[in-house]
Amino acid sequence: MSSASDARVRLAELAESQWGLLTTAQAAAIGVDTKQLQRLTDQAMLSRLRYGVYRLAGVPDSPTEPIRAEWLALEPARTAGDRIGDNAPLGVVSHRSAADLHGLGDLDADYIEFTVPTRRGTRNPDVRFHRGVLTAVEWMLVDGLPVTTPVRTIADLAAARTDGGHLASVVRDALLNNTPVDEIATALRPYAHRYGAPVDNGSALVTHFITQAGVPESSLALTAPSLEPLLAASRATNQALNQLVHGQRSTRFTTSLTSLPATDAAVAALRNQLAGAVPTEQVTEAIRQALAPLADTPQWRDAVARIRTQIQQSADPHQFPNAAAAREWARKLLLEGLTEALLDTAVQTPTPG
């Protein structure tokens, strides 16, 4: 076998376990020097991806290839298999790059990001390093690359002050991919106040993100069993509203519901109908009767108490003369918001009776 053919065989064996890629240092370790690499490149047997990293001819392109090449270049003398055996490989794909590999959210991964244990520089403007020490449970393999877990990725993005809209989409997709909601809440706890939630209240921030980005109830129930009581409360609320609309309202009120489209104008029109045709006390009493079976459950009472507490914690304490006044303000604000939500739901999901 000729020297060139022998070199190709050895390089193919080397690259087989690392996506068809190899480094100059790895090639040197098996007796293939830089001159031979250049000759094989000139013969189109190799493609140079970046300084010190090559791809074998015939290996298909991959969207992940730039990350793979940069990761190999971080520790070029060691093979991918050796590095992955480490407790925390040198250079774990993180932040926006990790979200992209996990398929989380709609962030623009304009550059490649790694978390490394010590300070590191680069001349490549497309690469960014974050200093941090990862434990064995904070990274996983994705397409053969070490990548921060979804929970660690969410924490990193929050620490980097990613805007709320994009972070909400990442949280949404993580939930839909069965990441436990309590783990996400714990990861977000130190950053809750940055996004308008009460200090150290990661659960409130998750709830806000769910509302902002939207998560199908069926998926959320499977992903977050701990939220099932609240989902059950939501279902009972909808059932109660349906009974309210078709069993305890005047003909004029029912007609307005079934004939209006689900728009903001429809909501306004309904409220005008309520104001002109039905006394406020009657509306309040009808809603109270319809929701009585739900309001008597411990799940509902606990949920309302938690929400009321969060509202109270978010307020400026200096604007109230005492704690009782703050609690009463939170109670009224919650009642007003709940009533608005019930009316909006009734208008948006009418069922002709």
| pLDDT average, residue stretch 109-123 | 91
The verdict on residue 87 lying in a domain is no
The verdict on 188 and 236 lying in the same domain is no
| Reported confidence tier of residue 236, pLDDT bands at 50, 70, 90 | low
Q: HEC profile for the chain?
A: CCHHHHHHHHHHHHHCCCCCEEEHHHHHHCCCCHHHHHHHHHCCCEEEEECCEEEECCCCCCCCHHHHHHHHHHCCCCCHHHHHCCCCCCCEECHHHHHHHHCCCCCCCCCEEEEECCCCCCCCCCEEEEECCCCHHHEEEECCEEEECHHHHHHHHHHCCCCHHHHHHHHHHHHHCCCCHHHHHHHHHHHHHHHCCCCCCHHHHHHHHHHHHCCCHHHHHHHCHHHHHHHHHHHHHHHHHHHHHHHCCCHHHHHHHHHCCCCHHHHHHHHHHHHHHCCHHHHHHHHHHHHHHHHCCHHHHHHHHHHHHHHHHHCCHHHCCCHHHHHHHHHHHHHHHHHHHHHHHHHHCCCCC
Overall number of domains in the chain: 3
| Reported confidence tier of residue 262, pLDDT bands at 50, 70, 90 | very low
The verdict on 148 and 179 lying in the same domain is yes
The verdict on residue 79 lying in a domain is no
The verdict on 312 and 235 lying in the same domain is yes
Q: Where in the sequence is the domain holding 32, given as residue range(s)?
A: 3-62
Amino acid at 275: A
pLDDT digits (tens, 9 = 90+) for 330-353: 777 666 666 555 555 444 444 443
The verdict on residue 74 lying in a domain is no
The verdict on 46 and 106 lying in the same domain is no
The verdict on residue 82 lying in a domain is no
Task: From 221, 251, 284, give the residue that closes a domain.
Answer: 221
The verdict on residue 276 lying in a domain is yes
pLDDT at 265: 46
Task: From 189, 221, 253, give the residue that closes a domain.
Answer: 221
Q: The tokens of 57 are what?
A: 């001819």
pLDDT digits (tens, 9 = 90+) for 3-44: 777 888 999 999 998 999 999 999 999 999 999 999 999 999
The verdict on 102 and 179 lying in the same domain is yes
| Reported confidence tier of residue 205, pLDDT bands at 50, 70, 90 | confident
The verdict on 228 and 320 lying in the same domain is yes
The verdict on 140 and 111 lying in the same domain is yes
pLDDT at 27: 95
